[in-house]
């Protein structure tokens, strides 16, 4: 009986899923398995960068580094894609993952994960690891998308490390029709919004337009970090819940809590 109640916890609930299209289906499926309607509306699209020769040359010379740090699963996958599906390691370089999803992408690709945060899933958690406390004079390569947060590199440099970036993908605003979501807003038929990055939240506001921001700000928002919660609050969102982690099951649990209050 309890499992049946859980399965129907989101019956009649419409949940906006803003993950990039290639990453949205698992969360959408979980929502639907629990009786909800997953409204797929990607507010980010992830694309490979064009500088393939430069990426390959960097990955071919990893002996210059002591640390190769992957900032996301996308960083792993696009680095591999640019380099014919493989990344060779030598005796000097160690591989680090920012969180569980990144580590899983590395493992799936046959890469060894030398360092993974014991608690947390962000730059702060990685920087707290003992292995990254004494990095004076060490060379670090951070694999990421264009732009992004600077805290990881800034902190490593403050500890004496020399840090370079390898940017393997870029984020763009998808060209998709926003009218179905606008209609749900106008009809007050959108119940929860899920957000997994600050950029996704900012793009959502841009894609729907300023005229609908007030309506948008009243809908319960599920975010995956305190940092995003702060940004959402500054944007005027009134009801914000933070998940325990960025994985889909944690997002689902928080959505259910928003709806049921339990």
Q: In the chain, what is the greatest distance between 2 CA atoms, to the nearest angstrom?
A: 60
| 92-103 tens-digit pLDDT | 899 999 998 899
Give pTM, 2 decimals.
0.86
DSSP for 121-146, please give it.
Answer: SSHHHHHTSGGGT--TT-EEEEEEES
Q: Work out the pLDDT band at 3, boundaries 50, 70, 90.
A: very low
Contact criterion met (CB below 8 Å) for 117 and 98: yes
What pLDDT is stored for residue 117 in this prediction? 93
| 104-133 tens-digit pLDDT | 999 999 999 999 998 878 899 999 999 999
| 177-197 tens-digit pLDDT | 999 999 999 999 999 999 999
Instruction: State whether residue 45 is helix, strand or coil.
Output: strand
Q: Is the pLDDT at 1 greater than 90, yes or no?
A: no
Instruction: State whether residue 196 is helix, strand or coil.
Output: coil
For the chain, what percentages of helix, strand and coil (3-state, to nearest 5) are there? 45, 20, 40
| 5-48 tens-digit pLDDT | 457 899 999 999 999 999 999 999 999 999 999 999 999 999 99
Q: Which of 217, 197, 196, 194 is nearest to 205 (CA)?
A: 217
* Domains in the chain, CATH or no CATH each: 2-44+176-260 (3.40.50.10090), 47-171 (3.40.50.10090)
| 208-227 tens-digit pLDDT | 999 999 999 999 999 999 99
By percentage, how much of the chain surpasses pLDDT 70? 97
């Amino acid at each position: 009986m309890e499992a049946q109640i859980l399965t129907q916890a989101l019956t009649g609930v419409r949940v906006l899923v803003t993950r990039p299209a290639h990453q949205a289906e698992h969360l959408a499926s979980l929502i639907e398995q629990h009786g909800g309607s997953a409204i797929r509306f990607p507010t980010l699209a992830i694309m490979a960068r064009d500088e393939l020769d430069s990426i390959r040359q960097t990955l071919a010379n990893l002996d210059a580094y002591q640390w190769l740090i992957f900032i996301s699963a996308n960083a792993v996958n696009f680095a591999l894609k640019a380099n014919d599906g493989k990344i060779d390691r030598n005796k000097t370089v160690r591989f680090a993952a920012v969180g569980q999803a990144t580590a899983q992408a590395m493992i799936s690709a046959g890469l060894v994960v030398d360092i993974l945060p014991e608690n947390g899933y962000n730059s702060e958690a990685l920087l707290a690891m003992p292995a990254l406390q004494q990095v004076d004079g060490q060379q670090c390569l951070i694999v990421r998308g264009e732009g992004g947060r600077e805290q990881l590199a800034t902190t490593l440099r403050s500890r004496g490390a020399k840090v370079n970036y390898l940017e393997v993908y870029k984020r763009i605003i998808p060209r998709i029709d926003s009218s179905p979501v606008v209609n749900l807003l106008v009809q007050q038929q959108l119940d929860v919004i899920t957000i997994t990055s600050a950029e996704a939240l900012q793009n959502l506001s841009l894609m729907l337009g300023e005229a609908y921001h007030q309506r948008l700000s009243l809908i319960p928002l599920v975010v995956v970090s305190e940092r995003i919660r702060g940004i959402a609050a500054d944007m005027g969102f009134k009801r914000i819940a933070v998940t325990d982690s960025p994985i889909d099951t944690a997002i689902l649990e928080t959505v259910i809590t928003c709806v049921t209050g339990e």
